[in-house]
Structure formats: structure tokens, C-alpha cells
Structure 1
Amino acid sequence: MWSYMHLISWAAIIILTLTAWVIYPRNARLFTILQMVNRVFYLTVILSGVMMIQYSIETSWVLAILKILLGITTIGIVEMLLSYRKKQKRSQLFWVLFVVLIIATVSLGFYLSGGRPLF
């Protein structure tokens, strides 16, 4: 159950981030709402991640700690990406980091979970 909650929350964060990025110039109020909803999903990701940590540590405690750090860094990059969008600053570096961290975090997460909940 926690793995489904974790995966759905990450998918929601990615979708909400992309939607907020696209919608900002046209609707600043909706951007703020999407940003707040995104933050609620951060909490669900952290909660579900804490609940699943015991299984990840059984596989490899070093990789589990790396996954935690990657997840927290990804959340930070999402926040920086959206705040730079709101300030209308250049954010190409944050886009590159966002994509790289999402790929690394998801890959490591599926490795630690043995491919669940997808396989």
C-alpha cells in the first residue's frame, strides 16, 4: 500500500510541477494553488517513504540513505524550479537537475523495492 501511495505521489508531483510551470504566465493564482497542492504531496512522499524505509534498508542501507538524499534533493530542486519561475529568472540548470534527479531517484527506488509496485 505504501509503495502505491509513494509512486502516485511522485507522479502527482511531476505532473503538478509541469502544469504549474506552464500555467504561471497566464494565471498566477492557480500557480500558487498548484504549488501548495504540490507541497501536500511532498508530505505524502515523505510519510510513505518513512514507512517503507525498513524494506529498503534490508536490501542495502547505503543505497537506502542515497535514495533518501536523492528524494529530498529532488523536492528541493522542484521548489527552486517553481520559485525561479515565479521570479521569472532563468532556470535551465534546475530543469536539467530535475530530470536527472527524477531518473536517478525513480531508478534507485525501483531497484530497492525489487520493482514493486509495477512488476
Structure 2
Amino acid sequence: MDFLSNSTHLHILTWVVGIILFIVASGMSPGTKERKIVKMVLRVFYILIIITGLALFIRYMDLNSALYGVKFLFGILTIGMMEMVFAKQEKGKSTQMFWILFIVSLLITMFLGFKLPIGLDFFA
């Protein structure tokens, strides 16, 4: 079976698991060993999310490359906001702004992913 034939499902699986791991890790006390382990597993999922997203982008970039590129950038931005939440939590500073930016970028990324031609058409 070809990797790219199932990469949409693999991509969805990786970002769902990534969001769950992010929520679990952000709820843990900063500086604990368990949190560090969950964060490292989450970072592996970041790599998998980027690889599967890049594979989808390369495969379908002739359909609507501009919007797929914007979706890819918002996906990277979402991952960046996840890491910023962790960084601010470690320093004991307020994370409210980065939570808001995370949620907004996640919603934009999901909207584009579902709206574009290979996504699920919830918004028809």
C-alpha cells in the first residue's frame, strides 16, 4: 500500500493525537518528569504531523497550491503556539494570549483543511 494513498487519515490521526497530548501535557505541573516525557512524545508527533502534511501538500498542490500553502503555514503556526504555551508555563508567566493564538490558528487550520478539495466538506 502506497504511503500517500492513506496519508490523509494518517495526518488526521497525528494531529488529533498531538492535540490530546498537548492538552494532557499543558495540564501537568511544569518541571515534572512525566510532563517532559509527554512533551517529548508530542514533539515526535509534531514531526509526524509536518511530514504527513508536507506529503499531502506535495501530492495535491496542483489543486489549490496557494490555500494549501496558507494551511501549511497556519499548521506550523499552531505548533509554534503550542510550544509557546509550554515555554510561558515553564517560566511561570501568563499563557492566556498564547492559548488564544493557539485556538485561533488551530480553528483556521482546521477550517482550511476541511474546506479544501481533499478535506471533509462540513461547511458546504
TM-score strictly above 0.5 = yes
Aligned partners of 2:100, 2:49: CA distance in 1, in Å? 22
Corresponding pairs, count: 115
Q: Which runs of 5+ in 1 are unaligned?
A: none
Q: How large is the RMSD of aligned CA atoms in angstroms?
A: 1.6
Residue 38 of structure 2 corresponds to 34
Which one-letter code corresponds to 1:22 in the other structure?
G
1:23 to 20, 28, 38: 28
Q: Deviations over 1:71-91 (max 9, x none)?
A: 111111111111111221101
Structure showing greater relative contact order (alpha-carbon pairs closer than 8 Å, 6 or more residues apart): 1
Identical pairs, percent: 35
Runs in 1 of length 4+ with deviation above 3 angstroms? none
Residue 3 of structure 2 corresponds to none
Aligned partners of 2:119, 2:78: CA distance in 1, in Å? 22
Instruction: Note the C-alpha offset of 1:55.
Output: 4.3
Instruction: Note the C-alpha offset of 1:99.
Output: 0.7
Residue 115 of structure 1 corresponds to 120
Instruction: Give the structure-2-normalised TM-score.
Output: 0.85
1:17 and 1:82 in contact (8 A); partners too: no
Residue 68 of structure 1 corresponds to 72
